[in-house]
Structure 1
Amino acid sequence: MLKVSERGTALPMSPYRKLTPFADAAKQRGVGVYHLNIGQPDVETPPAMLAAVQQASIRVLEYSPTAGYPSYRHKLAAYYQRLGIVVAADDILVTTGGSEALLFAFMCCFNPGDEVIVPEPFYGPYLGFALATGVRLVAVTASFKSGYALPPIAEVAARITPRTRAVLICNPNNPTGYVYTRTELAELLDVCRAHDLYLLSDEAYREFCYDAEFVSPLQLPGADEHVVLLDTISKRYSACGARIGAFVTKNRALYQAAFKFAQLRVSPPGLAQVFAEAAADLPSSYFDHTKTEYRARRDLMLRRLRAMPGVQCPTPDGAFYIMARLPVDDAERFAQWLLESFQHHGHTVMISPAAGFYATPGAGRDEVRLAYVINQPAIEAAMDCLAEGLLHYPGRTLAQASASALHTPTLLS
């Protein structure tokens, strides 16, 4: 009998896409679905980026260089330098989205059986990358009550074994929206230097920090050999479909290893690099309106969630996600019920159960991730659906939640 590989069988479904068949079925029944499950912004992609592709004078669409077009890499280096991240074009490997940058990191920093320490909840595909490459993901759990701050550095250090090769963070964090402080990052880097570990920094949301300063560990003293910056244009320019990212490191041996993996896929997408290069010419003021809009959406969603009996949520300082604790028996069962059995004025809402963002069994069972990537009137309508759904869900635990809330410390705001 033909069988698929063990890694193919072991890979988990995406925590934010696994309920898509139920959403599709709801739409076929004529029910509108508000998508709060996935970080797909509705903010307009900059017209200058689209125009660059439309106006490109290309007779033959050839392979680009394996590392990406030099013109784009130089502009990307200048972008990082404006942020205080001192890198050169030769430190940058253009990738097919941030996902390929992550894959290169896992392939180059680990051997099968090695370990990577990751604060949880974490970006769900990290677990898939670990399973696909034979790496063991070791979680250290961040506290809901602390707003998902980095766990005490002693807890991180306690997870280190002879097989540990790296610590992986997402900053600002997906799914929590937490922004790591300079002190937290310096402590992480000190641990990595002391134990000869890589520090992998996924920075897809750096432009979207609302109440905290963004710091990249690559800005810190002593970072050059240890830090790998993993990047993408998907979120900052509302260009998820372009599939252009970057693997950035000043560690030359690591860069050369990643370059060899990049040669296996020959080159990153050529037209998408033209598109991305145009983004590098946008003024920094481009983000002013986008940031203001996301902040307003965040504040609206927080206000509506906190008005729902039994719902608790910390205030995220960055990205465009909110983690919420709901008065339900099982968040995944509730999310599926919303799509299968519920509607409010002809609509329902799709949310991401948080268990898929944890490695610890049973963790996040009553939590969900909500993406505030739709416009404010749509958020209002989606929150109406969620509030009604919580009132009518057969597995609600509102009585217990209300009683326990009397003894729950105030969350960070």
Structure 2
Amino acid sequence: MPTISSKGFKMPQSPIRKLVPYAEEAHKQGKTVYYLNIGQPDIKTPAIALDAVKVHSLDILAYSRSEGSEEYRKKIAQYYDRNAISISYEDIIVTTGGSEALLFAFGSIMDEDDEIIIPEPFYANYNGFSTASGINVVPVISKIEDNFALPPIEEFEKLITPKTKAILICNPGNPTGYLYSKEEIKKLASIVKKHDLFLIADEVYREFVYDGVQHYSVLQEPGLEDHAIVVDSVSKRYSMCGARIGYLVSKNKEVIQTALKFAQARLSPPTLAQIASEAALDTPQSYFDDVIDEYVKRRDLLVSELEKIEGVKVARPNGAFYCIAELPIKNSDHFAQWLLESFDYDNNTVMVAPAAGFYSTPGVGQNQIRIAYVLNEDSLRTAVKVLSEALKIYKD
């Protein structure tokens, strides 16, 4: 019998999506499932983006340029300029979601068995992308006690080897919601310049920062032109997850030229989605002001309610729309499945993402979950009540 690849065996399951069958079964049993597991915003997509697709005048749905249409890339460059980031449209490659941008970055700068250092917990698919690319994740652990701040730079230094090619951060962070400060970015800039590494920043949640703080992009840091690579996406910014449009951005011409070869191999990003995404760039600031106000209310409610539960520790996010909660349990994978299979409170249950899947260090995060606060306040309040009641009777 033919066998699948060793890479296929190593490819991790998504900690976010693997529990879907259990949630579907709970739904069939008549339970109301509150989905705290996935970052699918309930915020409406800007009408300007949807309308652009409805009224397009195309006669043929043809390939676009491999790097994305020039008109769209020029408008993306203008968007960055409005955010105090100076780049040219030639520094941009439009991709099929931020996921493809990350894969292009990995393929462009790393060979098989090379190493990338990532503060953990991190977006779970970084593990999958690394496996698919044949490279090795070297984790540096950030701690809930420190609100998942950047680990001491000395911890990064200890991990650098001749195989190290890059450091990857998510800013603001998924799954922690942590926002790296300008000072922390400067520390990372110093180390990548010292050791001649790349600094990849996943900045897809750039708009979602709270409490009066400012996002500082790696593209704003002087002297990083040859080192900085940004992964970006329209998915969360405009609540357009299904558009599957992202982009890779770098002032390093060799990186862009190399990534373009990967882009050519997959032909082009989707044409209609580019039309919607280009139109979305004209979304008024009032849209984001309202969205941010809503997320701040949800965050404050979620953190406040979680802190009332005995034995629960929660990190306070100041960006994105996720938080990590540490529970008085031993195994969050078992707990998450039990919630869907065996528990309900007034016929309600919740779906959470076990946090171990957001680490690459074995055994870490077993008592943690990631919560996405993408539900309205009433639903969040009910979901946390369900979680509280579940913890009262759950046995490891």
The TM-score normalised by the length of structure 2 is 0.99
SS in 2 for 1:285: helix
Aligned match of 2:275:
274
Deviation at 1:44, TM superposition (A): 0.6
Matches of 1:320 and 1:366 in 2, distance apart? Answer: 20
Task: Tell me which amino acid in the other structure corresponds to 2:302.
Answer: M
Matched with 1:92 is 92
CA separation in 1, counterparts of 2:323 and 2:202? 18
The corresponding residue for 1:119 is 119
Q: What is the alpha-carbon distance in structure 1 between the residues aligned to residue 330 and residue 250 of structure 2?
A: 44
Is 1:338 aligned with 2:334? Answer: no
Partner of 1:107: 107
Residue 201 of structure 1 is matched in structure 2 by 201
Residues 238-257 of structure 1 mapped to structure 2, 5 A cutoff? 238-257=239-258
1:223 partnered with 2:224 = yes
Distance in 2 between the 1:273 and 1:131 partners? 29
Give the equivalent residue in structure 2 for 1:214: 215
Q: How does 1:11-410 map to 2 (within 5 A)?
A: 11-211=11-211, 212-395=213-396
Greater Cα shift, 115-124 or 280-289: 280-289
Indicate the percent of aligned positions where both proteins have the same amino acid. Answer: 50
1:404 matched residue in structure 2: none
Q: CA deviation at 1:283?
A: 2.2
**Secondary structure of the corresponding residue to residue 386 of structure 1:** helix
The alignment of Structure 1 onto Structure 2 pairs a total of residues equal to 395
What displacement does 1:284 show? Answer: 2.4
Rounded Cα–Cα distance in structure 2 between residues aligned with 1:69 and 1:286: 26
Moved more, 147-156 or 282-291: 282-291
Deviation at 1:257, TM superposition (A): 0.5
Distance in 2 between residues matched to 1:370 and 1:47, nearest whole Å: 28
Shift of 1:152: 0.3
Aligned letter for 1:186?
Answer: K
State the superposition RMSD in angstroms. Answer: 0.7
The 2-side partners of 1:255 and 1:92 are apart by 7
Secondary structure class of the residue paired with 1:145 = helix
CA distance in 2, matches of 1:116, 1:314: 26
SS in 2 for 1:349: strand
Segment drifting more, 86-95 vs 279-288: 279-288
User: Counterpart of 1:76 in 2: which secondary structure?
Assistant: helix
Match of 1:399 in 2: none
Cα deviation code 1:392-412 (max 9, x no counterpart):
1122xxxxxxxxxxxxxxxxx
Q: How far apart, CA to CA, are the structure 2 residues paired with 1:249 and 1:285?
A: 29
Deviates more, 1:169-178 or 1:274-283: 274-283
SS of residue matched to 1:139 = strand
Letter in 1 for 2:317: P
The gaps in structure 1 that reach 5 residues or longer are 396-413
Shift of 1:286: 2.0
TM-superposed CA distance for 1:371, in Å, is 0.3
Q: What amino acid sits opposite 1:114 in the alignment?
A: D
Q: Which secondary structure state, in structure 1, belongs to the residue aligned with residue 73 of structure 2?
A: helix
Look up the match of 1:7. Answer: 7
Which deviations, in whole Å up to 9, do the C-alpha atoms of 1:66-95 show, x marking residues without a partner? Answer: 111111100000000111111110000000
Residue of structure 2 equivalent to 1:411: none
Query: 2: CA distance between counterparts of 1:314 and 1:371?
Result: 13
3-state secondary structure, aligned to 2:324 = strand
Letter in 1 for 2:169: I
Q: TM-score, normalised by structure 1?
A: 0.95
- The one-character-per-residue Cα deviations of 1:302-344 (angstroms, maximum 9, x if unpaired) are 1110011111112111000010000112111111100000011
User: Aligned equivalents of 1:284 and 1:273: distance in 2?
Assistant: 21
Q: In 2, Cα distance between the equivalents of 1:134 and 1:42?
A: 35
Aligned equivalents of 1:47, 1:222: Cα separation in 2:
39
Q: Residue 116 of structure 2 aligns to a residue in which SS?
A: strand
Q: Name the CA distance, whole Å, in 1 between partners of 2:73 and 2:119.
A: 31
CA distance in 2, matches of 1:344, 1:70: 53
Q: State the SS of the aligned residue for 2:345.
A: coil
Distance 1:97 1:340 in 2: 33
- Could you report, residue by residue, the CA deviation over 1:39-87 in whole angstroms, capped at 9, with x for unpaired residues? 0000011111100000111111110011111111000000001111111
| 2:21 aligned counterpart, secondary structure | helix
Deviations 1:232-266 (CA, angstroms, capped at 9, x unpaired) = 00001011000000000111111011000000111
Q: 1:190-226 deviations in whole A, cap 9, x for unaligned? A: 1101111000000010100003321001100001100
Separation of aligned partners in 1, 2:36 and 2:91:
36
